[in-house]
């Protein structure tokens, strides 16, 4: 048996049973943060020996099955859905809207089964909030409700829910609908990845770079924090292609992309800006931090020791880097940052290449 806890909490998120224990026949039973019964009550009610529980010091134990979130204020409905889905999915549950929003944001379920009638915050409001957040808007929502009226169904679908199922339902049908929605979600995610990824290097493409820079500029305008941009150009890359051929040129760009992505942080975005140019968006990073990252990238590229015997700078592939750090303000745009970083890149190239030039 494995029990999953919220981090730094004794609150149970999931109980996964690999075999029946006592009278506990459900494979998975879950408890949201604000559920109406405690961990002790759970163990006592289901006659589960506490000494079989494993918990890594409060850290969540990740289970390999896809996660779904059941949101219902009726315990009997939760238990029924656990029986239906427990063998296939890791089932999280919440008994009110606030818990549902918390778990959806922090646990990233593949799909949400959502009741309509709940106290304090009904299912429609939960759906509206989930679909308005960039963290949860892509999670499919299926309403499950005893309300059988066209107006309610139309409202749910208008708010962004993917499906609307009325009770009573047939387990085989609801399982197929859940499976279908998760498959569609994965297909959409794959298409999204393809649409924002450069096919050669695997970095973000120019389209995604433009979208993220615009979004980050607007966010930093609100927060007042520093936003840094790094622009990079491979030194004498045309000569490299003429000497080693375009196939080797592509392989070179792939290795450079790996060298760049190994340095940037998870909060940064590395992109292929165009041709042999690369870019990195560094959110909430001041000039000193940006220069430090850029210099690490430059040294890492040299450390790859990709031969370039016809370069006028070194006997290996090198890059020139321009940096601009901005305090974003309303009335200007992200194009100002690009233009200033490009000026610094030009200075790095005209000052001898294989160096970093910067300004704030």
Nearest by Cα to 226 from 294, 265, 282, 271? 282
Nearest by Cα to 324 from 308, 338, 310? 338
Report how far residue 268's alpha carbon sits from residue 294's, in angstroms, rounded to the nearest whole number: 12
Nearest by Cα to 327 from 214, 217, 213? 217
> To which H or E segment does residue 281 belong?
strand 277-282
> To which H or E segment does residue 327 belong?
strand 319-327
Decide if 295 is catalytic: no
Share in percent of the chain as helix, strand, coil (round to 5): 45, 20, 35
Measured in degrees and rounded to the nearest 5, phi and psi for residue 93 equal -145, 155
> How many Cβ atoms are within 10 Å of 294's Cβ, its own excluded?
26
Report how far residue 287's alpha carbon sits from residue 324's, in angstroms, rounded to the nearest whole number: 7
Catalytic residue from among 153, 162, 276, 340: 276
Report how far residue 357's alpha carbon sits from residue 341's, in angstroms, rounded to the nearest whole number: 9
DSSP H stretches of helix in 168-282 = 171-196, 206-223, 237-244, 246-261
Residue showing tokens 């000026």? 343
Name residue 15's beta-bridge partners. 3, 29
Contact status, residue 230 vs residue 271, Cβ threshold 8 Å: no
Which of the 8 DSSP states describes residue 307? B
Cα Rg of the chain (Å, integer): 26
Angle, alpha carbons 246-238-348 (nearest 5°): 135
Cis peptide bond N-terminal to 168, omega within 30:
yes
Nearest by Cα to 307 from 318, 315, 319? 315
Q: List active site positions.
A: 276
């Amino acid at each position: 048996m494995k029990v999953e806890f919220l981090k730094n909490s004794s609150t149970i998120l999931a109980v996964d049973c690999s075999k029946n224990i006592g009278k506990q026949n459900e494979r998975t039973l879950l408890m949201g943060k604000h559920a109406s019964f405690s961990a002790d009550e759970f163990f006592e009610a289901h006659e589960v020996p506490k000494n079989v529980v494993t918990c890594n010091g409060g850290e969540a134990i990740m289970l390999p099955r896809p996660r779904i979130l059941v949101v219902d204020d009726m315990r009997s409905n939760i238990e029924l859905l656990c029986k239906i889905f427990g063998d296939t999915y890791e089932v999280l549950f919440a008994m009110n809207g606030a818990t549902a929003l918390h778990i959806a944001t922090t646990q990233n379920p593949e799909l949400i089964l959502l009741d309509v009638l709940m106290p304090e915050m009904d299912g429609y409001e939960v759906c509206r909030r989930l679909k308005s957040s960039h963290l949860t808007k892509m999670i499919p929502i299926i309403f499950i409700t005893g309300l059988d009226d066209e107006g309610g169904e139309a409202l749910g679908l208008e708010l962004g829910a993917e499906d609307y199922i009325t009770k009573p339902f047939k387990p085989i049908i609801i399982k197929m609908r859940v499976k279908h929605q998760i498959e569609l979600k994965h297909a959409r995610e794959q298409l999204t990845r393809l649409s924002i990824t450069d096919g050669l290097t695997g970095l973000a493409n120019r389209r995604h770079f433009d979208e993220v820079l615009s979004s980050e500029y607007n966010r930093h305008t609100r927060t007042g924090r520093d936003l840094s941009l790094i622009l990079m150009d491979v030194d004498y890359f045309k000569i490299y292609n003429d000497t080693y051929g375009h196939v080797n040129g592509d392989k070179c760009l792939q290795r450079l992309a790996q060298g760049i992505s190994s340095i940037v942080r998870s909060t940064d975005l590395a992109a292929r800006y165009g041709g042999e140019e690369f870019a990195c968006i560094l959110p909430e990073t001041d000039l000193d931090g940006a220069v430090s990252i850029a210099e690490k990238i430059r040294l890492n590229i040299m450390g790859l020791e990709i031969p370039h015997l016809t370069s006028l700078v070194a006997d290996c592939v090198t890059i020139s880097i321009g940096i601009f750090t901005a305090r974003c303000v309303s009335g200007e745009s992200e194009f100002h940052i690009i233009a200033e970083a490009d000026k610094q890149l030009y200075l790095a190239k005209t000052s001898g290449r294989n160096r970093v030039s910067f300004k704030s």
